[in-house]
Amino acid sequence: MAGTLKNFRSICKKIICIGRNYSEHASELGNTVPTKPMIFMKPPSAFVAPPNEIQIPSEWDELHHEVELGVIIDQQCRNVSKEQAEKSIGGYCLALDMTGRKIQDQLKKQGHPWLLAKGFDTSCPCGDFIDKNQISLSSSVNIWLSVNGKMRQNGHTRDMIFSVPDLIAYISKYITLEHGDLILTGTPAGVGAVKRGDQIEAGLNGDNNLKYAMKINVASK
């Protein structure tokens, strides 16, 4: 089964995202720090991978970048303990949660779902599959993102409020996680705007000399 996870983008049925999982990021947007994981979704049609580009929907002028650690599920899990949750992980990826922040702010005020702000086509750029053996959950992964060569985000997964096993155990109480599903684990501080024509570079550094980086452009039109 594990081999097919290399193609997680084509087998993924759901992308489940965690919001406000780093307290510095919750504070920078004026949100309170959650006492339970806050979850929302993107449709799999949101995937994009370089050399394809991020497309800003035509009536918007910018997007916000959010760099995140993606967790890819191998074994189906439902109502699992934290220990079982660890066994259900098949791998990881570098993921971006591209966000129409102005739309999200309007939707929040209206008490409406965030789907448009978070789930438009190309809102989920992802890097390649990283095998689970390359990242140990007891270590911290550095995730970073730069725009046009300037560092914007540089965080560490040790600062997550809810750990990866906590998140899987929580989600699986309500939603069955299946082979190929992707969890975006939330973004560290430093989110900001990108415009048409900007160049994003993002990366992930782990123990065992794991270094992964990807470049993806925002389309100029």
Ligand X SMILES: O=C([O-])CC(=O)C(=O)O
Q: Least distance (Å) from ligand X to the CB of residue 66?
A: 5
Selected binder of Mg ion within 5, 20, 66, 145 (CB under 5 A): 66
Number of residues near Mg ion (by CB under 5 A): 3
Selected binder of ligand X within 97, 123, 161, 203 (CB under 6 A): 97
User: What, of ligand X, Mg ion, none, does residue 53 touch, CB below 5 to 8 Å by kind?
Assistant: none
The angle at the Cα of 152, spanning 143 to 196, to the nearest 5 degrees, equals 110
- Does residue 198 belong to the site contacting Mg ion (CB under 5 A)? no
Rounded-to-integer distance, Cα 124 and Cα 86, Å: 24
Q: For residues 87 and 192, which CB has a smaller minimum distance to ligand X in the complex? A: 192
Residue 154 three-state SS: strand
Q: For residues 44 and 80, which CB has a smaller minimum distance to ligand X in the complex? A: 44
Q: Least distance (Å) from Mg ion to the CB of residue 71?
A: 13
Residues 30-69 that bind ligand X (CB under 6 A): 66
- Does residue 190 belong to the site contacting ligand X (CB under 6 A)? no
Long-range (24+ apart) CB contacts under 8 A made by 213-218 are 213/94, 214/50, 214/94, 214/125, 214/127, 215/50, 216/48, 216/49, 216/50, 216/53, 216/54, 216/96, 216/125, 217/50, 217/53, 217/54, 218/53, 218/54, 218/56, 218/63, 218/194
Rounded-to-integer distance, Cα 185 and Cα 22, Å: 9
User: What, of Mg ion, ligand X, none, does residue 20 touch, CB below 5 to 8 Å by kind?
Assistant: ligand X
List residues binding ligand X (CB under 6 A).
17, 19-21, 25, 29, 66, 97, 99, 104, 186-187
